[in-house]
C-alpha cells in the first residue's frame, strides 16, 4: 500500500528531505500551493497525511477529509489548524517545538540590540551622507535595564540566558509557568501589567490562541515607559497593530523590532513601513540552514511515524489518544 501525503503549501526551494523520509515509510509526496479552504479540500480530500505551512485547515476542511490520519505543521504554532475538529475526527496533529530555539532567541536579541543601539538608523544616516552620532540620541546603557518576556517557554528561556550575559535583568509574564522554573532561570514572574510598567524592552513569545490575540493593546501600551521598545518574533496578531501604531505615533513607546506582522506579507500601505523607530523583518527569525533542515526532517518524520503505527514525537492534541491507539516509539535523540 502506498500512502498519499499532501503538502498544502511551502516556501522551500527543495523538498528532498521530505521525499527521503516519507519514501522510507511507503508514502508518496504530493506538492501543492493552496491558499483557500476549497483548494485544500480539492488537493487533500483523500490524503492519508497532510503537511501544512500557512494554508487554512479549518473545521470545514477537516470535516471533508476522508482518509487523513495525521496533520503535521511546519513550525511550532498550530493556529492554522482547527485542533478541536481534528481531535473529534481522530486526526493526530503534530508540530516541531524545538527546531529553532537558538535562532529565534538570537534574532529577538539582535532586534533588541538594534533598537537599543539604533544601529539601523545610524547605518541609514551614514549611507545618506550624514556622519553624526547625534541622530541616534538618546541611547541608554544596556546593563541593568529590564527585559520583560511575554511567555516563558523554551525560546524565551533561551533568550533570558543570553540577555543576562549582557547584564539585563529579566522578568516574565506566563500564567502557566511555576515559580520553581522561574527561580531556576534566575528571573522573576510578574503580572502582565507589572511587566509593562517595569520593562525597558518587551519581547513577545506567547502562542497565538483566541485568548492571546491582541494580548498587547492600548491598555498595555498606556502602561509602558516612553523609553521602552517592544520586540515580536512570535506571531503578529499577539500585538494589536492599530494600538501599536498609535503608541509609536504619539510617543508612548520609543520603538519596535518586528519579525512578524498581523498580515504577512505586510501591506505596502501599512503605516509601520514609514515609522522611523520601527525595524521590520520578513518572518525570518526561525531561519538558519541547520534549523530549516531540522524542521523539514522532523515534520516529515511526524507523518512517517503515524503512518507506520506510532505516535509522533511531537503530538499536539493529546486528547486524540482517547480514540486513536498507536504504539510508542523509543525516544529518538535528534542532532541539532
322 catalytic, yes or no?
Answer: no
Sheet of 146-150, strands arranged across = 188-189, 169-173, 146-150, 201-204, 229-232, 255-258, 278-280
Rounded Cα gap, residues 79 and 234, in angstroms: 12
Rounded Cα gap, residues 187 and 272, in angstroms: 32
- For residue 197, the cross-strand partners are none
Q: CA 92: distance to chain centroid?
A: 21
Catalytic residue among 19, 60, 121, 283: 283
235 catalytic, yes or no?
Answer: yes
Catalytic residue among 73, 107, 235, 297: 235
Rounded Cα gap, residues 122 and 105, in angstroms: 24
Rounded Cα gap, residues 336 and 333, in angstroms: 9
Pairing of strands 188-189, 169-173: parallel
Cell numbers given for 278: 520601527
Spatial contact of 62 and 85, defined as CB atoms under 8 Å apart:
yes
Sheet of 3-7, strands arranged across = 27-31, 3-7, 49-52, 70-73, 92-94
Active site residues per annotation = 235, 264, 283
Amino acid at each position: 500500500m502506498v500512502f498519499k501525503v499532501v503538502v498544502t503549501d511551502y516556501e522551500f526551494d527543495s523538498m528532498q528531505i521530505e521525499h527521503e523520509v516519507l519514501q522510507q515509510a511507503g508514502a508518496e509526496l504530493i506538492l501543492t500551493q493552496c491558499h483557500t479552504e476549497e483548494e485544500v479540500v480539492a488537493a487533500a480530500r483523500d490524503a492519508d497525511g497532510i503537511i501544512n505551512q500557512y494554508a487554512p485547515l479549518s473545521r470545514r476542511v477537516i470535516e471533508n477529509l476522508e482518509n487523513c490520519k495525521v496533520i503535521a505543521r511546519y513550525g511550532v504554532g498550530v493556529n492554522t489548524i482547527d485542533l478541536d475538529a481534528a481531535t473529534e475526527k481522530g486526526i493526530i496533529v503534530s508540530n516541531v517545538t524545538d527546531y529553532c530555539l537558538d535562532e529565534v532567541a538570537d534574532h529577538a536579541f539582535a532586534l533588541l540590540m538594534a533598537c537599543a543601539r539604533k544601529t539601523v538608523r545610524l547605518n541609514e544616516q551614514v549611507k545618506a551622507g550624514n556622519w553624526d552620532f547625534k541622530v541616534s540620541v538618546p541611547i541608554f546603557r544596556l546593563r541593568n535595564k529590564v527585559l520583560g518576556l511575554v511567555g516563558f517557554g523554551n525560546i524565551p528561556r533561551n533568550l533570558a540566558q543570553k540577555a543576562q550575559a549582557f547584564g539585563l535583568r529579566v522578568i516574565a509574564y506566563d500564567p502557566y509557568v511555576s515559580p520553581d522554573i522561574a527561580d531556576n532561570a534566575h528571573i522573576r514572574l510578574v503580572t502582565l501589567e507589572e511587566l509593562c510598567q517595569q520593562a525597558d524592552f518587551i519581547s513577545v513569545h506567547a502562542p497565538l490562541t483566541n485568548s492571546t490575540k491582541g494580548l498587547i493593546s492600548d491598555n498595555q501600551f498606556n502602561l509602558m515607559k516612553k523609553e521602552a521598545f517592544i520586540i515580536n518574533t512570535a506571531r503578529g496578531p499577539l500585538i494589536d497593530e492599530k494600538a501599536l501604531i498609535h503608541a509609536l505615533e504619539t510617543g508612548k513607546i520609543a520603538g519596535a523590532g518586528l519579525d512578524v506582522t498581523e498580515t504577512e506579507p505586510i501591506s505596502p500601505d501599512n503605516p509601520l513601513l514609514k515609522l522611523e523607530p520601527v525595524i521590520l523583518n520578513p518572518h525570518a527569525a526561525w531561519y538558519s540552514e541547520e534549523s530549516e533542515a531540522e524542521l523539514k526532517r522532523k515534520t516529515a518524520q511526524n507523518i512517517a511515524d503515524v503512518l507506520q503505527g506510532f505516535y509522533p514525537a511531537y503530538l499536539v492534541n493529546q486528547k486524540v489518544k482517547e480514540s486513536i491507539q498507536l504504539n510508542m516509539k523509543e525516544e529518538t535523540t535528534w542532532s541539532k
